[in-house]
Amino acid sequence: MGEMLVLIDHNDGQPRKVSLQMLSAATKLAAEAGQTVSAVWLGEGGADAAAVLGEHGAAKLYHWDSPDAFAYVTLPQVDALEAALSASGADTLLFASSNHVKDVAARLAIRVDGGVITDVTDLAVGDGGRLHATKEVFGGDLITTSKVADGKVALFGVSPNAFPVEASGGSAPETVALDVTLSEAATAAKVTSVEKVGSADRPDIGEAAIVVAGGRGLGNEQGFELMEQLADVIGAGVGASRAATDAGWYPHRYQIGQTGRTVSPTLYLGAGISGAIQHRAGMQTAQHIIAVNKDAEAPIFQIADFGVVGDLYKVVPKLIEELQTRKG
Amino acid sequence: MKVIVPVKRVPDTAGEKKLDPNDRTVDRDGVESVLCPVNEFSIEEAVRLKEKHGAEVTVLLIGPDSAQPIVRKALSYGLDAAVQVTDDAISGSDALGTARVIAKALESMEWDLVVFGNQSADARTCLVPAAVGELLGVPSLTFARYLEVNGDEVVVHREHEEGWDVVSAQLPALVSVVEAINEPRYPSFKGIMAAKSKPLTVKSLADIGVDDGAVGLGAASATMYEFEPRPPKSAGTIVDDDGSGAAAAQLADWMAEKKFV
């Protein structure tokens, strides 16, 4: 029986939410295609995570228990995945469609003559068990379906929150240690330190289920303290429009839009954001959209499921109170 | 030091973007083309390498004759020369096909550092820089929010979800930059005038040693076979606040109903 591989993206020894979402989706797809799901864990900690991976559908776990995986840039992971493809005979791999992992997939595709489809929002089983991928392009204006050419290894970058997490109740997977020999090239680019600047208590906007974002209408950087208070009531990540990051009110790394991050949460709330096309390109795929803006003509109201036309400095503090009351 | 900045022509974000229903490639008729906005940051970074290290910077663009204004636009920021690879056979290439063309073009040029934008504004796959790195066998230090060249070493702060990794490699190397890296300047009038007479070399696939059949739509490893416009969204609930913030109660009710609270 063929294997479908899922590369587990992890942080601090825990699989990221997107990894469990991928496993849940792969479990259904593999069953339909007559395959089984194998997780791939690169770096230390794979054996400790085996139980949770099994609960979400992994029948097998390939792991490379080595600090080398992240001690050098990208290439050790490519070497290890090449070993995983070879050990499993798999021709399909799902990976988290985030910056660093996309690099791994791009290099792997060149090395094994595969094809890559990034930012996938849905997958279906087609002829011969090959997967077909749905992807939104042009800032969400067009919805496309693609596949990797027959005979090539198919690599699918899955967007966060594209699939629900569903525990299959599976038992601990069979574990297989990968035998990885690093090439000389793999150690050419070193990681000398890792700087963590995000809030430990607040999810990253890339994978948060809820994202709140502030824009020009906030008027100053103190406005973001208000947005952070709102975020912390509902467990949201905090983003910003380019107008706000260019003004220096919030760090560039949280910019949502064409030249910044793309978010696909289940709920997006924009305050003081007009919704210019450059911003929409980074958030239009959110499942639900809330807008608070004093300008009733702001384009964001055209895509909002719920909009409040009003002063955000009146509406947001009140919203925080109301939400706290409802939480009890 | 020799630096190359690959740039891309993309449809203007504000324009209506269409795909040609026959070959599902971007329909360039009737939509204005612009220099990819992310390239403003890669070009600015290259200009800073010129100012700091006296780097000689060459623009590289893969695209038809009609993309030449984009090359001149890139040169107007003060870069030194340009290479454009133009060949009908390139049309329809996917990200990996484009990477093959760029890699071969780079093999035909002299360089120490290549500075990409991290993602194009139209396709946004982020795949090209790392794929080029694999093809050339050189390090790819991507998503740089900070870049420094010390002698023959490049140091990059490589952005990720939690912050960034500090990474380093010996030149030659490839980097890609994110928008946090700098604040791009506008081209000067002098730069715009000078761009018209900067040397531009046009090369074909044969010139850089790429076989026609290795790129283009037919050789694409991933194929889009269907597309449809996003279904129009049904009108949402829009409430007018009375100036007191009281409308927040309705919003909170809606959020509770959708189980976000």
Q: Judge: B162–A11 Cβ closer than 8 Å, yes or no.
A: yes
pLDDT at A294: 97
For residue A284, give the DSSP letter.
T
Average pLDDT over residues B32-38: 93
Q: Which residues pair with B155 in a beta bridge?
A: B148, B168
Q: Which tens digits make up the pLDDT trace of A3-47?
A: 999 999 999 999 999 999 999 999 999 999 999 999 999 999 999
What DSSP letter does each residue of A287-315 carry, written as one string? SEEEEEES-TT-GGGGS-SEEEES-HHHH
pLDDT > 80? residue B16: no
The span from the CA of A120 to the CA of B254, in Å, is: 29
DSSP strand pairing (A154-158 vs A237-240)? unpaired
Q: Is B214 exposed, middle or buried (0-12, 13-18, 19+ CB in 10 A)?
A: middle
Residue B3, phi then psi, degrees to nearest 5: -120, 140
Query: For chain B, which domains are there?
Result: 2-219 (3.40.50.620)
| Closest CB to B261 among A117, A189, A326 | A326
Owner of token pair 């890296």: B181
Angle between helices B95-107 and B128-136 (to 10 degrees): 50
Chain A stretch 80-99, residues whose beta carbon is closer than 8 A to a beta carbon of chain B:
98-99
| Closest CB to B159 among A138, A188, A253 | A253
Owner of token pair 């479908």: A4
Q: Which residues pair with A271 in a beta bridge?
A: A214, A292
The span from the CA of B53 to the CA of B150, in Å, is: 10
- Nearest 5°: the CA angle A234, A236, A239 is 140
The span from the CA of A12 to the CA of A49, in Å, is: 11
Would you call the peptide bond into B172 cis, given omega within 30 degrees of 0 as the criterion? yes
The span from the CA of B157 to the CA of B174, in Å, is: 14
The answer to whether residue A306 neighbours chain B at the CB level (below 8 Å) is yes
pLDDT at A328: 77
pLDDT at A140: 78
The span from the CA of A18 to the CA of A100, in Å, is: 14
B180: closest chain A residue by CA: A252
pLDDT at B233: 80
Q: Which tens digits make up the pLDDT trace of B61-74?
A: 999 999 999 999 99
Q: Judge: A113–B221 Cβ closer than 8 Å, yes or no.
A: yes
Q: Smallest Cα–Cα separation from A78: which of A42, A118, A29, A126?
A: A42
Residue B173 distance to chain A (closest CA, Å):
9
The span from the CA of B244 to the CA of B180, in Å, is: 37
Q: Which fold has domain A210-327?
A: Rossmann fold (3.40.50)
Owner of token pair 């996309």: A102
How many Cβ atoms sit within 10 Å of the Cβ of residue B171?
16
Q: Smallest Cα–Cα separation from A282: which of A268, A292, A293?
A: A268
Predicted-complex ipTM score: 0.94
> Helix-strand-coil percent breakdown of chain B, rounded to 5?
30, 30, 40
Q: Smallest Cα–Cα separation from A114: which of B100, B222, B132, B210?
A: B222
Residue B251 distance to chain A (closest CA, Å):
7
The answer to whether residue A281 neighbours chain B at the CB level (below 8 Å) is yes
Task: For chain A, state the CA radius of gyration.
Answer: 21
Size of interface A-B (CB pairs under 8 A): 288
Q: Which tens digits make up the pLDDT trace of A161-198?
A: 999 999 988 999 999 999 999 989 999 999 999 999 87
End-to-end CA distance of chain B: 56
pLDDT > 90? residue A73: yes
pLDDT > 80? residue A139: no
B226: closest chain A residue by CA: A145
What DSSP letter does each residue of B108-175 carry, written as one string? TS--SEEEEESS-TTT----HHHHHHHHHT--EEEEEEEEEEETTEEEEEEEETTEEEEEEEESSEEE
| Closest CB to B162 among A105, A204, A323 | A204
Average pLDDT over residues A187-215: 92
Show the tokens assigned to A116.
């890559």
The span from the CA of A89 to the CA of B42, in Å, is: 40
Chain-wide mean pLDDT for chain A?
95
What DSSP letter does each residue of A83-115 carry, written as one string? HHHHHH---EEEEE-SHHHHHHHHHHHHHHT-E
Residue B197 distance to chain A (closest CA, Å):
30
The span from the CA of B85 to the CA of B225, in Å, is: 27
Residue B130 distance to chain A (closest CA, Å):
5
Chain-wide mean pLDDT for chain B?
94
B26: closest chain A residue by CA: A138
Average pLDDT over residues B110-117: 98
CATH architecture under which domain A2-187 falls: 3-Layer(aba) Sandwich (3.40)
pLDDT at B231: 84
Q: Where in chain A is the domain with CATH 3.40.50.620?
A: 2-187
User: Which residues lie below 8 Å from residue B259, measured CB to CB, with a gap of 6+?
Assistant: none
Question: Which of A308, A313, A319 should be substituted to probe chain B, the one whose Cβ sees the most B Cβ atoms within 10 Å?
Answer: A308
pLDDT > 90? residue A155: yes
